[in-house]
Amino acid sequence: MHKTHDSRYGCAAMQAMTLNEAIFGPAIPPAARILLMDDQAFEDLVRAWMVRLQPAYLGVERFGGPGDMGRDVVGWTTDAKCLGVWDNIQCKHLNKPLGPANLWPELGKIFWHADRGDYVLPRTMRFLCSKGIGTGAKHLLTNPEKLRQGLIAHWKDSVENKITDTGAVPLVGTLKALVESTSFSIFGPMAIEDVLEDLKGTAYYIGAFGGGLPSRPPVSTPPGTPATHEDRYVRQLLSAYTERRASAVDLTTIDEQPRDRRHFDMCRLQFYCAESLKEFARDATRPGTFEGFQQDVLGAITPVLYDEHDDGLTLINAVLRTATIMPPASNVLYAIVEPRDKQGVCHQLVNDGTIDWVEE
Q: What are the tens digits of pLDDT across the range 194-203?
A: 888 888 877 7
Residue-level pLDDT at 19: 54
Dihedral pair phi/psi, residue 150, rounded to 5°:
-65, -40
CB atoms within 10 A of CB 154: 18
Let me know: does 268 contact 344? Beta carbons within 8 Å: no
How big is the chain, counted in residues? Answer: 360
Q: What percent of the chain has pLDDT over 90?
A: 66
Q: Please give the DSSP secondary-structure letter assigned to residue 86.
A: E
Mean pLDDT of 285-290: 90
The span from the CA of 355 to the CA of 312, in Å, is: 12
SS3 252: coil
Residue 1 forms part of a structural domain: no
Q: What distances in angstroms separate CA 63 from CA 40, 44, 87, 341, one per listed residue?
A: 10, 10, 13, 41
Q: Domain containing 128: what range?
A: 30-209
Q: Tell me which amino acid residue 258 is.
A: P
Annotate 3-25 with b (16+ C-beta within 10 A) or e (fewer): eeeeeeeeeeeeeeeeeeeeeee
Strand stretches in 121-271, DSSP E: 124-129, 187-189
* Mean of the per-residue pLDDT values of the chain: 89
Annotate 261-291 with b (16+ C-beta within 10 A) or e (fewer): eebbeebbbbbbbbbbbbebbeebbeeebbe
Residue 360 forms part of a structural domain: no
Element (H, E) at 75: strand 73-76
Let me know: does 273 contact 340? Beta carbons within 8 Å: yes
Residue 216 forms part of a structural domain: no
Query: Which range has the worst mean pLDDT, 80-84, 116-120, 127-131, 178-182?
Result: 127-131
The span from the CA of 360 to the CA of 239, in Å, is: 9
Mean pLDDT of 253-277: 96
Residue-level pLDDT at 275: 97
Confidence of residue 348 (pLDDT cuts 50, 70, 90): very high
Q: Could you tell me if 165 and 49 lie in one domain?
A: yes
The total of structural domains in the chain comes to 2
pTM: 0.62
Question: Residue 94, exposed/middle/buried by CB under 10 A (0-12, 13-18, 19+)?
Answer: middle
Q: Is the pLDDT reported for residue 360 higher than 90?
A: no
Query: Any idea what the Cα angle at residue 295 is, between residues 291 and 299, rounded to 5°?
Result: 170
Confidence of residue 1 (pLDDT cuts 50, 70, 90): very low
CB atoms within 10 A of CB 99: 17
The span from the CA of 352 to the CA of 297, in Å, is: 14
Q: Could you tell me if 204 and 244 lie in one domain?
A: no
Q: Tell me which amino acid residue 360 is.
A: E
CB atoms within 10 A of CB 52: 16
The span from the CA of 72 to the CA of 57, in Å, is: 16
Q: Is the pLDDT reported for residue 10 higher than 70?
A: no
Confidence of residue 162 (pLDDT cuts 50, 70, 90): very high
Dihedral pair phi/psi, residue 192, rounded to 5°:
-60, -30
Element (H, E) at 259: helix 258-284
Point out the domain boundary residue: 162, 177, 209: 209
Q: Could you tell me if 205 and 244 lie in one domain?
A: no
SS3 33: helix
How would you list the strands of the sheet with 73-76, edge to edge? 59-62, 73-76, 86-92, 124-129, 187-189
Q: Could you tell me if 169 and 301 lie in one domain?
A: no
The span from the CA of 53 to the CA of 38, in Å, is: 24
Residue 9 forms part of a structural domain: no
Residue 8 forms part of a structural domain: no
Q: Could you tell me if 191 and 252 lie in one domain?
A: no
Q: Would you say the C-alpha torsion 9, 11, 12, 15 has a positive or negative sign?
A: positive
Q: Could you tell me if 182 and 234 lie in one domain?
A: no
Q: Could you tell me if 156 and 265 lie in one domain?
A: no
Dihedral pair phi/psi, residue 46, rounded to 5°:
-65, -40
Mean pLDDT of 168-193: 96
Point out the domain boundary residue: 149, 179, 209: 209
Q: Could you tell me if 199 and 233 lie in one domain?
A: no
Mean pLDDT of 238-245: 95
Mean pLDDT of 65-73: 85
Q: Could you tell me if 236 and 117 lie in one domain?
A: no
